[in-house]
Structure 1
Amino acid sequence: MTDLHGFELLRDEFIPELNTRARLYRHLKTGAELLSLENDDENKCFGITFRTPPRDSTGIAHILEHSVLCGSRKYPVKDPFFTLVKGSVHTFLNAMTYPDKTTYPVASTNLKDFYNLVDVYLDAVFFPRITPEVLKQEGWHFELPAPDAPLTIKGVVYNEMKGAYSSPDGMLYRYSQQSLFPDTTYGHSSGGDPQAIPDLTYEAFKRFHETLYHPSNARIFFYGDDPPEERLRKLDEYLSQFERSEPSSQIELQARFNAPREFEYTFSADEDNQKGMVMLNWLIDDNRDPTVLMARDLLSYILLGNAAAPLRKALIDSGLGEEVVGGYESDLLQQTFSVGMKGIDPANAGQVEALILRTLAELAEQGIDPETVAAAFNTFEFSLRENNTGSFPRGLVLMLRALGTWLYDDDPIAPLRFEAPLAAVRAAVANGERVFERLIRELLLDNLHRTRVTLRPDPEHAARLAAAEQARIDAFAATLDDAKREALVAETQALAEWQQTPDPPEAIAAIPTLRLADLDRAVKRIPTEIDERGGARLLRHNLFTNGIVYLDLAFDLRALSPHLLPYVPLFARALTEMGTATSDFVRLLQRIGRETGGIYAATMTATDIVSTAPVGRLIVRGKSTVAQTTELLRLLSEILLTVNLDNRERFRQIVLRARANKESSLVPAGNAYARQRLAARFAPAEWADEQMGGVSAIFFLRELEQQVQHDWPSVLADLEAVRAALINRRGLVANLTLDADNQQAVLPMLTAFLSELPDAAYHPAHWPVRSVAGGEGLVIPAQVNYVAKGVDLHALGIRPSGAAMVVLRHLRIDYLLDRIRIQGGAYGAGGNYDRSTGLFITTSYRDPNLLRTLDVYDEMATFLRETALDPATVERAIIGTIGDMDAYQLPDAKGYTALVRYLTSVSDEYRQQIRNEVLATTPADFVVFAEAAAALRDHGQVAVLGSAEAIEAANRERPGLLTPVKIL
């Protein structure tokens, strides 16, 4: 590398574990630092991060994260982020606010697209157009549409955080962090407290950006196979426009407590819910030595990492609560450790604390089971070597790992190396050192910087929040005379006009985009061979997996009677959490951790694209090294054939945890629950999915909890019936993802394993749909709503082509997000058409509105018919759709995708047909889809997850719209 483009090279190292060259640079003029990782990964990643410690809870860092992506000097459109999304094949595109940093990462496998993303993001963070209108839209504003209209507070982040503060789980973690750091930035809410957000002024907002969004406060990251020198050149184009500064972004150290402290808060619940939460929290220190961090990570896993972990097990076995929460947090300047329980009697918070401390003392004194330690070491090493980051780009995960030290002016490369730290901890344990027992004593038992945070349910909590909001509104209203009211009306109307005014075509054209010529016209195929082995169907995928065996066993849920379906997720957990004929569940989980890369089970439901029959599978997934295949198959056989279902107390714990987790997910995933509830009316597979994982599943778990207690024989009989019907090689589809050479070594063992499974008659059951008239209002204690409306297009004779994918993408970004998020203040909105079922469903997320959102859905047909689209807009929508279709996948995900396609009869020929229709989309297809939007308007059905007050208000205005169904 001859030209460093204004940078100086600080370090140049090779990281064998990642097969990556790491170079650390400093920009000479500004002091900006760059970590440049060079390797052969086509999924290129870029990120720029600023240290942004907030000094209050107004959400300033979070609102700014939203706002810098609302137009910039080079790209002067109101929302270049979503404009960019339309014409990109990105594999990741987002921004995230943390307690002390804000990061802007992008990723793409297409080099031209990648450079486009980098350029837009750099211009956005350094030269944003953060006008007062942007703060009003993304942050907060008083809204008064007319002089006699009610005054309200609106804003995207304001409503997002009202949703976040409706989640008791989120509140517990937020309050726990704040309890440990009363005197530093971590004592504030970086996301924003809805009660404090309206205190944010435009002047403070601008000043925060001017001070902290500067190259001298930036950590910049590149990863992948793009040209290394081009990284430097592109960055210097932006960085060289600045002079070095000394931004005040340092984070203070929290002074140590000399005694533990206790805190109690409330959360919204009705009179029937008397269960609370408690968390015990410790402030540790700011030691960032890689070996120290590795040992602490291992300790957290040993204590809490699975159902057999000794601290987790002690808490669950106590019966004091329903689920364990907590863990080790190393991504703050000073690390923390937390552990607690959900579903407790708040009066028992002290007992939970005492049990935690007593268990830790016993482990420190008596020692930790060596088998548990061995399992933890294997689990960690397997995970680190596999480097399986799921849908997240690997580069993004490495960037976040590096920031764990880099943000605090420490070595960013050290956290990327794992072999030496892991070996050092392993060697210390092998030499007889009581590594983890010592850590328990030093970090926890002898540490007085401890807090106990208790959350207590309070039926008046929501009313108090609403009253506080109204009091703020009333106080502001009292300052308004007639002239000021007229001025506020004018401001409100001006903001709406600004939001609704289209960006100039020349500004939109400035946003870089790919062209259709840059896209592959052929679908990406996954190599698949199909044969029979051991009496079962076997799919094999010849993919390089770095010597890891990925095995999926897809058992047919259609073998079950409908009344048994709600048991399936519980049975899936029971397979690894109930023990077997030869091992109790602790020993079983130790063996899984020590001898494999993991075993778990999950459900999958869909509709066959050809026959339209429902498809349902329990997919048991296992992975190991090739050398561990014998152990993996032995464990799978033992689990499937001899799982010990006759353990009432153990199963009761599984039921309690499942119910607690489902209930706590209602607010974070409300749109999914509303969509699921609605879809169950139309398609048998959707009905089955809702029975196993939706609102119906919550009702089932509550009833099952009582049945386990009072009629265990009947529950056991149902569980045995599930096992007898499911574990059957007739109807089983096995799925192996592994390179061809290693397949030859594995196949004989796999064939023998499959042949040992039962072979019984199989008769697929009939699955119904939910028979419900009218809309449903699913009542939860939340400050926001989740609004779904859907229709079966196929039942009305409407069968959209592949072009519908393009139209829907355009609708989501240019219509739904514009009217529901930008104008309406919700956090998000979406729409989807399932061509296998015919279902067209729209949803909103963390939405302050209800009826207005339904009106937006109903106006889609008019929008499609009356909006003139130019070819460039259509081309962008096509490109973005192809990007969605070609999402980057790691080898195990490719193998799983091929399995799902096989189970649902989605052939490569069919996929090519749809791709051709997508690529051939014209403006006329948008008008054609208006028929589907009109069908949604005229025949659609509604499901809303929201507060009782919002549902009652909707029914007052439109009588009979929603039948209330109390969930929480």
Structure 2
Amino acid sequence: MSVLHGLSNGKDFQNLLSVYLDAVFFPFIHVTSDNERVYAQHLQNKLFPDHTYSVVSGGEPLAIPDLTWEQLKQFHATHYHPSNARFFTYGDLPLEQHLKQIEEEALSRFKRINPNTEVPSQPHWSSPREEHVTCSPDALAPDPARQDTLCVSYLLGDITDTFEGFTLSLLSSLMISGPNSPFYKALIEPKIGTDFSSVVGYDGSTKEASFSIGLQGMSEEDTERVKQIISQTIDDIIEKGFEEERIEALLHKLEIQIKHQSTNFGLSLASYIASLWNHDGDPVELLQISDSVAKFRQALKENPCFLQEKVLHYFKENTHRLTLSMSPDEAYLEKQAQAEEEKLQRKIQALSHSDRKEIYEKGLELLATQSKTQDASCLPALKVSDIEPTIPITPVQISTAGGVPVQYCEQPTNGLVYLRAMCSLNTLPEDLRLYVPLFCSVITKMGCGALDYRQQAQQMELRTGGMSVSTQVTPDSTQLDMYEQGVLLSSSCLERNLPHMFQLWRDIFNSPHFDDEERLRVLVMMSAQELANGISYSGHMYAMTRAGRHLTPAGDLQETFSGMEQVKFMKRIAEMSDLSQVMRTLPRIKKHLLNPDTMRCAVNTTPQKISDTAAQLESFMKEVADNRKERKPVRSNIIEVRHQQQRPLDPLDDSGLSRKLISPCQMKTFFQLPFPVNFVSESIRAVAFSHQDYASLCILARMMTAKFLHGEIREKGGAYGGGARMGGGCFSFYSYRDPNSVQTLSAFRKGVDWAKSGQFSQQDIDEAKLSVFSAVDSPVAPSRMGRFLSGVTDEMLQNHRERLFAVTHKNLVEVAERYLGVGQRTCGVAILGPENHTIKKDPSWIVK
């Protein structure tokens, strides 16, 4: 599936559509590796053993060397053909022009063929099957002794039966979502494992849907117990069904999803219909969700046992089910490497002298091709002059509610009210900081007021579009050593449920529950497992956060809240046999955070609902006034600094900024992890957002990524990705899923030399500017309008925009020399990856 996303410029869309049509249908073809993915891949391959889903879609690494160029070319000619394609556009640009362009630039140049890509149905098994696979041990697992996964997967019906698919996806949510679901109660709460298996619930991405349920982070000896619990839970559901209120909560959630406007709404729709449409289902029928809801309600009304009968048919009586277990093998990576080496040796031994010579010459030819500057003159190009010179101003109203500053932003929100509140961390004692992310993840999940945690979850689903609390670290836009630290409270609701949403927040502020150790342990285990799993997906982000730790105080706090320090801290908490000390910590944090004296709020809703929301907010602030405490004078020096800079105080900035003077220092950290690949980053202390050089560094980062680092790190180095970015006061290099480590650091330095040498053209600069502007001008959802969090005013954004337009070749060379040169820079380096003897022998590295 090929997508164009978030383009606000018609000319840009047209140009990129041309490039995509050319790349997909007329490519220039040359032939030129986490436990969760391993498990998911095996599960699909083994549940559908008789056709296309039995193989790895991207190519099994050990099988790829057997693929010939002719085979690849032939596969492309039949599969990447208009006869096998579906086109989807979404947005406010006229459809006729898109269709005309698709016809002229692609369709008219092909004859219709029969691609023979229809996926056959999987023959159903007459009896269930069991399989076992191995994986690499995970050093960050919450409990190293419990690293097994077990899951039961059921083959369901054909996804082109739209209503049946809709019913089964709702049924899946009722069975597994949230603390009120039967499988959560049966599998998660007894703490047999740390979380549901990585593949869980309804999957409609294949021709025939599937449903999976199981656990990860469990002991091997619990295998039979888990199988028995899954079977028993299905029997219980068939006998008891589901409470009416849970079904209503789920349908309410659907109503919210239909009304909520996100910036990737069109892309989400495309993803939602892609599988069904590709298998010749009716995409329009799939999008008529209101009709499906009405049909679902009618089916329940006519037959109160409607859902129980589905469970009986698809789960109890279904013989096409696979039980897949996975356990760690200490020698897993070693065996993988050995298999690759053996395959390589077999291939080498079969080569003649002339074969070897040809391969060597082809390798030199490939390197030369990769090193050559590609001619992009044939590509349609947007000009910098096509970009709007000014930003649209977003009007906001500034007011107060119970003495708390509030920003109101009138937006077309489709009948939803969005509330955000920033609570400062300025008064929080240092010893509590590491616990703040844990506090955020449990504060809305342990019960409050008269509600236990199950009732609280039910009310949140029935009355809101979600309530969340998260850490927030915002670097100041003028000075590198100042930042705002806090937690962000976010929630939304349909207009009719506004009083209910405020009542839930009122109970969370006035009487949150922290006394259920069993519930806390479940949440801790799930959180620790989620963090450990997340590294393989976002390892480059963890590397960048660590590399920037000692460069700015905001970077230091980011590492505490969301870096490797937090991952390791949560692993320690998960290993504790007694959580009473943690339980004593949470109320202490609550006193500092849920306090109106250190809050500021934002409301985004329709003009008609502003006054009602304001009245409810005023009442809420009065009723949580007991949480007020004597304000500490945390702002005096900051106000003085801001006035010296002649920068107007943000009227909303009542919570104050934090200033922490650090001595930026070089630090090189290596985290040894159970992956066969590396995540590498080098961060350099640079400038704040309002500095005149910030725009030049943004353009430089994009240009270095596209014109130098991509070629060195991905094309030549074999990494999945790599590049540079500017933000948070730091210029950061990174690589993602990278077979190299120290060599990649060398590529970063070569990138700096390339930039300082000025060996780039005006076209390179213009392309980088267009790329930066596409991010600057990306759409903002109605719920997020008003620039509440960043502290950056419209005037500052316009100044930044003008500086981006004005960046020259000379500016780029100058900032590369000024900030990135070896003598000038203060930098931090971090690598996450497999054992590395070169680094271990080097005393300049800290090995974790």
Quick check: TM above 0.5?
yes
The equivalent position to 2:628 in structure 1, one of 750, 759, 762, is 759
Shift of 1:268: 0.8
Counterpart in 1 of 2:256?
382
| Structure 1 pair 391–741 and aligned structure 2 pair: CA distance change class (3 A) | closer
| Structure 1 pair 859–603 and aligned structure 2 pair: CA distance change class (3 A) | same
| Structure 1 pair 273–829 and aligned structure 2 pair: CA distance change class (3 A) | farther
Structure 2 contact 550–666 (Cα < 8 Å) conserved: no
Counterpart in 2 of 1:620?
489
Q: Which amino acid aligns with 1:521?
A: P
Q: Does 1:260 align with 2:134?
A: no
Shift of 1:961: 4.6
Q: Does 1:884 align with 2:775?
A: yes
Shift of 1:524: 3.4
The equivalent position to 1:933 in structure 2, one of 820, 823, 832, is 820
Identity of aligned residues (%): 26
Separation (CA, whole Å) in 1 of partners of 2:660 and 2:326: 41
Counterpart in 1 of 2:64?
197
Q: Does 1:821 align with 2:821?
A: no
Counterpart in 2 of 1:85?
none
TM-score (norm 1): 0.81
Shift of 1:855: 0.6
Counterpart in 2 of 1:665?
534
Separation (CA, whole Å) in 2 of partners of 1:452 and 1:768: 56
Counterpart in 2 of 1:239?
107
Counterpart in 1 of 2:158?
286
Structure 1 contact 790–936 (Cα < 8 Å) conserved: no
Separation (CA, whole Å) in 2 of partners of 1:557 and 1:431: 54
Q: Which amino acid aligns with 1:243?
A: K
Q: Could you give the per-residue CA deviations for residues 114-169 of structure 1, whole angstroms, max 9, x where no partner exists?
A: 11111111122221111xxx321xxxxxxxxxxxxxxxxxxxxxxxxx1xxxx111
Shift of 1:643: 1.5
Shift of 1:936: 8.3
What's the secondary structure of 1:546's corresponding residue?
A: coil
Separation (CA, whole Å) in 2 of partners of 1:222 and 1:448: 41
| Structure 1 pair 348–745 and aligned structure 2 pair: CA distance change class (3 A) | same
Q: Which amino acid aligns with 2:684?
A: V
Q: Which amino acid aligns with 1:228?
A: L
Q: Does 1:113 align with 2:113?
A: no
Counterpart in 2 of 1:356?
230
What's the secondary structure of 1:616's corresponding residue?
A: strand
The equivalent position to 1:635 in structure 2, one of 487, 504, 523, is 504
Q: How does 1:342-421 map to 2 (within 5 A)?
A: 342-386=216-260, 388=261, 390-392=262-264, 394-421=265-292
Structure 2 contact 723–733 (Cα < 8 Å) conserved: yes
The equivalent position to 1:296 in structure 2, one of 168, 177, 184, is 168
Shift of 1:179: 1.7
Counterpart in 1 of 2:644?
none
Q: Which amino acid aligns with 2:196?
A: V
Counterpart in 2 of 1:151?
none
Q: How does 1:426-465 map to 2 (within 5 A)?
A: 426-431=297-302, 433-465=304-336
| Structure 1 pair 125–766 and aligned structure 2 pair: CA distance change class (3 A) | closer
Separation (CA, whole Å) in 2 of partners of 1:917 and 1:242: 46
Q: Which amino acid aligns with 1:962?
A: W
What's the secondary structure of 1:669's corresponding residue?
A: helix
Q: Which amino acid aligns with 1:730?
A: D
Counterpart in 1 of 2:655?
none
Separation (CA, whole Å) in 1 of partners of 2:359 and 2:162: 55
Counterpart in 2 of 1:159?
none
Shift of 1:417: 0.7
Separation (CA, whole Å) in 2 of partners of 1:954 and 1:204: 42
Separation (CA, whole Å) in 2 of partners of 1:192 and 1:641: 55
What's the secondary structure of 1:510's corresponding residue?
A: coil
Q: How does 1:799-814 map to 2 (within 5 A)?
A: 800-814=693-707
Q: How does 1:720-799 map to 2 (within 5 A)?
A: 720-757=587-624, 758-763=627-632, 774-793=667-686
The equivalent position to 1:952 in structure 2, one of 819, 837, 841, is 837
Structure 1 contact 807–925 (Cα < 8 Å) conserved: no
What's the secondary structure of 1:189's corresponding residue?
A: coil
Q: Does 1:943 align with 2:830?
A: yes
Q: Does 1:963 align with 2:846?
A: yes
When the two chains are superposed, the root-mean-square deviation of aligned CA atoms in Å is: 2.2
Separation (CA, whole Å) in 1 of partners of 2:208 and 2:425: 48
Q: Could you give the per-residue CA deviations for residues 447-479 of structure 1, whole angstroms, max 9, x where no partner exists?
A: 111111111011110110111111122222333
Q: How does 1:483-562 map to 2 (within 5 A)?
A: 483-504=354-375, 508-562=376-430
Shift of 1:112: 1.2
Counterpart in 2 of 1:64?
none
Shift of 1:703: 2.2
| Structure 1 pair 699–213 and aligned structure 2 pair: CA distance change class (3 A) | closer
Counterpart in 2 of 1:901?
790
Q: Does 1:312 align with 2:199?
A: no
Separation (CA, whole Å) in 1 of partners of 2:749 and 2:96: 52
Name structure 2 gaps, 5 residues minimum. 635-657
Number of equivalenced pairs: 811
Structure 2 contact 159–276 (Cα < 8 Å) conserved: no
Structure 1 contact 106–117 (Cα < 8 Å) conserved: no
Counterpart in 1 of 2:147?
275
Counterpart in 1 of 2:802?
916
Structure 2 contact 126–319 (Cα < 8 Å) conserved: yes
Q: Could you give the per-residue CA deviations for residues 231-253 of structure 1, whole angstroms, max 9, x where no partner exists?
A: 33222212122112111211111
What's the secondary structure of 1:846's corresponding residue?
A: strand
Shift of 1:858: 1.0
Separation (CA, whole Å) in 1 of partners of 2:372 and 2:81: 31
Q: Could you give the per-residue CA deviations for residues 262-309 of structure 1, whole angstroms, max 9, x where no partner exists?
A: 111111116855412111100011153332222112111111222332
What's the secondary structure of 2:597's corresponding residue?
A: coil
Separation (CA, whole Å) in 1 of partners of 2:227 and 2:454: 23
Comparing 869-878 and 540-549, the one that deviates more: 869-878
Counterpart in 1 of 2:652?
none
TM-score (norm 2): 0.92
Shift of 1:876: 2.2
Q: How does 1:140-289 map to 2 (within 5 A)?
A: 162=33, 167-237=34-104, 238-269=106-137, 272=144, 274-286=146-158, 288-289=160-161
What's the secondary structure of 2:149's corresponding residue?
A: strand
What's the secondary structure of 1:332's corresponding residue?
A: coil
Separation (CA, whole Å) in 1 of partners of 2:517 and 2:486: 26
| Structure 1 pair 772–718 and aligned structure 2 pair: CA distance change class (3 A) | farther
Name structure 1 gaps, 5 residues minimum. 1-101, 137-161
Shift of 1:824: 1.0
Shift of 1:482: 5.3
Separation (CA, whole Å) in 1 of partners of 2:823 and 2:39: 40
Structure 1 contact 626–746 (Cα < 8 Å) conserved: no
Separation (CA, whole Å) in 2 of partners of 1:577 and 1:293: 30
Separation (CA, whole Å) in 2 of partners of 1:810 and 1:619: 34
Q: Which amino acid aligns with 2:331?
A: E
What's the secondary structure of 1:511's corresponding residue?
A: coil
Q: Which amino acid aligns with 1:636?
A: W
What's the secondary structure of 2:493's corresponding residue?
A: strand
